[in-house]
Amino acid sequence: MNLDDFEQKLQRQTLRQIPAEWRAEILATAGRKSKAEGRKQEWFRPSSLVPRLSTILWPHPTAWAGLAAVWILILAVNLSIRDKSPGVAEKSTPPSPEVIVELKQQQRLLAELMGAHDTRDADRSRPSVPSPRSERAEILAA
């Protein structure tokens, strides 16, 4: 496409130059951020776990060793207590035949009661037909 005079005039206008001092600042900041990002990624890499742990533990090895010993002791005590104390299921003895008979009787009684309760409920749920006023008066008198 050929440019007309006006377009050529616009095109000839010289744009401002980028400030020279920006170069060093922008590149330095970008480099810094890039390094920080690299360090962050490095921190999460498993291969660097051992050196990082040693860096953390190295200044006070005795304190960390003591802490580890305490934890081992707690674990040992916990395991020994658990082994000696019998469970609730182990402790209970099987019920005697009398108890079983008694339980079955109670179960039967409960089933009967439940059956009676259901019948009453069925009666209650039936829609009540209002009785004549004279009958209600008799009921009240009784």
Partner 1 sequence: MRGPDLRRLYDEHAQPLFAFLLNLTRDEADTRDLLQEIFIKLARNPDLLAGVRDERAFLIRLAHNAAIDLMRRRGTRDKTREQFAAETFSLFASGADPDENTFRIALAEALGELPPEQRAVVHLKLWSGLTFEQIASALDIPPNTAASRYRYGLDKLRERLRPLYEEIK
Residues that bind partner 1 (CB under 8 A): 5-7, 9-11, 13-18, 22-23, 25-27, 29-31, 33-34, 37
Task: Measure the CA–CA gap between 76 and 82, rounded to whole angstroms.
Answer: 10
What minimum distance in Å lies between the beta carbon of 15 and partner 1? Answer: 4
Task: Measure the CA–CA gap between 95 and 75, rounded to whole angstroms.
Answer: 37
Task: Measure the CA–CA gap between 68 and 61, rounded to whole angstroms.
Answer: 11
What minimum distance in Å lies between the beta carbon of 23 and partner 1? Answer: 6
- Other beta carbons within 10 angstroms of residue 33's beta carbon come to 10
What minimum distance in Å lies between the beta carbon of 70 and partner 1? Answer: 44
What minimum distance in Å lies between the beta carbon of 43 and partner 1? Answer: 16
Q: Which is nearer to partner 1, 6 or 58 (CB)?
A: 6
Query: At which residue do the structure tokens 């209002």 appear?
Result: 130
Q: Which is nearer to partner 1, 41 or 85 (CB)?
A: 41
Q: Which is nearer to partner 1, 23 or 60 (CB)?
A: 23
For Cα atoms 70, 71, 76, give the angle at the middle one, nearest 5 degrees. 100
